[in-house]
Chain A
Amino acid sequence: MNRLLGLAAWTAGLLFFAPVAWMVLTSLHSEPDAATNPPSPAAPITFDSYAEFFDSNPWPPLINSLSASVGSTALVLLLAVPAAYALSIKKVEKWSDVLFFFLSTKMLPVVAGLLPIYLVAQHTGMLDNITFLAVLYTSMNLPIAVWLMRSFLAEVPREILEAAALDGAGLVTTLRRVVAPVALPGIAATSLICFIFSWNELLFARVLTGVVAGTAPVYLTGFVTSQGLFLAKVCAAAVVVSLPVLVAGFAAQDKLVQGLSLGAVK
């Protein structure tokens, strides 16, 4: 029975992983080998599709995605860490209302604000501008970051904070010696989650960017041509664009749940 259930788990794991494995395998085949029926998994390995993908100059969109994701993540931390401090360690009055206000903004569908944001961008000349996109990603991720950071800072032991205050430790010393050791892993987890969400975003990028500031997901949607064989190339592009998220996600596997559930599940 035990052996059977283990086998079931393995089967499920392999089934869910199969499309990812197939994506990688297809990206390593030549176009004719990638598009056969029945499939030819044992076809010779080639890196031609990757070479072709990088020849099509994907760097501007990749760099745009990187700057929007890294820039917005930095801005999110700058805003969220002090806010979380004011919601957990030195609490403002009505802190729980404030916390729920942040969460409620996450539940407002982004499409609802898309048009006014587009009009503002149009009138201020910020269309097709990566900084504008980074600001929007910041607003998208800020509630998640505030909740996550709060759940981490809430773990800072009260007794030690009080002892530090009694010993006359200044704010800087307290932050560095007592708060930072608990906060740093939280900051790392928060950064990874915010990075992933910004990197994945398509709707805002699709509507608000064009040739200059187009991000990697937008580039991917434009990558499919109706002419000729392209399957291996599409798979290679999908692998390259997904790679940062796969790496970040596997690295932060344990923090992934906490981030996705906004810190509600530990």
Chain B
Amino acid sequence: MTAVREAPTRAEPAPPARTAQLAAAARWARRAPLLPALVFTIVVTQLPFVATLVISLMRWNALDPAHRGFAGLDNYAAVFTDPDLRGAIGVTALLTATVVLVSLALGLVLALLLDRRFAGRGIVRTMLIAPFLVVPVAAALLWKHALYNPEYGLLNGVLTWVFGDDAPQPEWISGMPLLAVEASLVWQWTPFMMLILLAGLQSRPQDAVEAARVDGATPWQVFRHLTLPHLRPYLELGALLGSIYVVQNFDAVFTITSGGLGTANLPYTIYQTFYQAHDYGQASAAGVVVVLGSIVIATFALRVVSSLLREDDGRAANRTEVRA
């Protein structure tokens, strides 16, 4: 392609100034299709964040607009000393870690089960994907009312079926609020992990596995020394993408517990601070804290995605070379 592009320049040597002009024009012609998307993204996603940063340094309560002014780091001090917000930081970390790790483990088991031939594999795969395709609010409502309800929810109903009239009838949500939120999220995110890990399993080089089997390796040895190392980038990708989505979860906390009983995570708390308490400065400072936390996760995530991308481009390059 390079040769084709250079051809006209060589055929008709232009004066240096004109060449530079042409080169600049060519560069801008290349950039042109990219610019609308780039400008749009900067305006809609980056400017609000800069504004949040500025507001986080201000004393600004919507109900008390007369006292708006510069607050320095007061809002940040408030974020880290306010027991609600400190609690929210802990809840967010716990919720994200639990949901991601449990769904990753379950997803791995399910992916291994599906990576084999058996009757009705397509149907099982479709059934397993279904939870991920229920609208999150609908899923949260379903768990709260149709499954967890202590009087007529399915969970206690099943207990009655199994143990008869003396069956224990726990109050799922008030008894174990955080676990209740986590279970509904694990149900929704396990299919996501399974899909990514299944794609990883199916891209595993079969000849190495065959060779190992011929050499008498046990299934456990094959899994431990061949499958698991191959799956590592996929496990990392699942964990990191999962973290990015789950750390932002709002729907489940909002619907199942309304942030009560110690389940308020940062997104919910920020929503509440600004929507109900109208403390704009403090809500923004909390927002900045969430962003700083996400940047730590994101740095790892970007590295993982970037390594997958490089492998991919490497494969593509090899393919081209072979063909050439």
Q: A35-B152, A102-B41, A234-B145 are in contact. Are A115 and B284 (CB under 8 A)?
A: yes
Indicate if B101 sits at the interface (CB-CB under 8 A): no
Chain B residues contacting A136 (CB-CB under 8 Å) are 44
A 1-25 contacts with B by CB, 8 A: 2, 5-6, 8-10, 12-14, 16-17, 19-20, 22-23
B275 contacts the other chain (CB 8 A): yes
Dominant SS at the A interface?
A: helix
Residue from the set A39, A146, A206 with the largest chain B CB neighbour count within 10 Å: A39
Give the nearest-CB partner of B43 in chain A. A139
- Given the known interface contacts A202-B254, A221-B254, the answer about A115 and B283 at a Cβ–Cβ threshold of 8 Å is yes
CB pair B33–A85 under 8 Å, yes or no, is yes
A184 within 8 A of B: no
Q: Complex formed: what's the CA distance from A237 to B146 in Å?
A: 13
What residues of chain B lie closer than 8 Å to A98, measured between beta carbons?
Answer: 34, 38
Name the residue among B41, B137, B151 with the largest chain A CB count within 10 angstroms: B137
Give 9 CB contacts A-B under 8 Å: A9-B116, A82-B34, A107-B297, A112-B290, A116-B51, A159-B323, A165-B1, A217-B251, A238-B139
In the bound complex, CA of A264 to CA of B5 (Å): 31
CB <8 Å contact, A86 and B316: no
Q: Which residues of A from 240 to 265 have beta carbons under 8 Å from B?
A: 241-242, 245-246, 249-250, 253, 256-257, 260-262, 264-265
A242 engages B33 (CB within 8 Å): no
A114 to B274, CA, bound (A): 9
Known pairs A9-B121, A111-B271; A261 contacts B287 (CB<8 A): no
B: residues with CB less than 8 A from A are: 1, 4, 27, 30-34, 36-38, 40-41, 44-49, 51-52, 55, 109-110, 113-114, 116, 118-121, 123-139, 141-143, 145-147, 149, 151-152, 154, 156-158, 160-161, 187, 190-192, 195-196, 198-200, 203, 234, 237, 241, 244, 247-248, 250-251, 254-255, 266-267, 270-271, 274-275, 280, 283-284, 287-288, 290-291, 294-295, 297-298, 301-302, 305-306, 308-309, 312-313, 316, 320, 323
- In the bound complex, do residue B161 and residue A235 qualify as a contact, i.e. CB atoms below 8 Å apart? no
Nearest neighbor of B244 in chain A, beta-carbon distance: A107
Q: Please tell me which one of the listed residues A92, A165, A223, A241 contacts residue B31 in the complex, with CB atoms under 8 A apart.
A: A92
Which chain A residues in 84-114 approach chain B with CB under 8 Å?
85-87, 90-93, 96, 98, 100-114
B142 touches A166 (CB 8 A): no
Residue of A nearest to B109 (CB): A12
Q: Which residues of B contact A224 (CB under 8 A)?
A: 141, 145
Question: Do the beta carbons of A256 and B41 come within 8 Å of each other?
Answer: no
| Any B CB within 8 A of the CB of A177 | no
Are A249 and B132 touching (Cβ within 8 A)? Answer: yes
**A107 to B41, Cβ gap below 8 A?**
no
Q: Is the CB of B145 within 8 A of A115?
A: no
- Kindly state the separation between the CA atoms of A235 and B154 in the bound complex, as whole angstroms: 13
Which of chain A's residues have a CB closer than 8 A to the CB of B323?
159
CA distance A42 to B168 in the complex (A): 24
> Would you call A266 an interface residue if the criterion is a C-beta within 8 Å of the partner chain's C-beta atoms?
yes
Cβ-based interface call for A161 (8 A): yes
Q: A231 to chain B: which residues have CB within 8 Å?
A: 145-146, 149, 152
User: B49 contacts A108, CB within 8 Å?
Assistant: yes
Q: A152 within 8 Å of B by Cβ?
A: no
Q: How far is the CA of A116 from the CA of B187 in the complex (A)?
A: 34
B9 → A minimal CB distance (Å): 15
A216→B196 CA distance, assembly (Å)? 29
Return chain A residues, CB-CB under 8 Å to B135.
Answer: 199-200, 216-217, 220, 238, 241-242, 245
A246 and B51 contact, CB distance less than 8 A: no
> Does A28 have its Cβ within 8 Å of any Cβ on chain B?
no
A16 pairs with B267, CB closer than 8 A: no
A residues near B192, Cβ cutoff 8 Å = 260
A176 at the interface (CB under 8 A from B): no
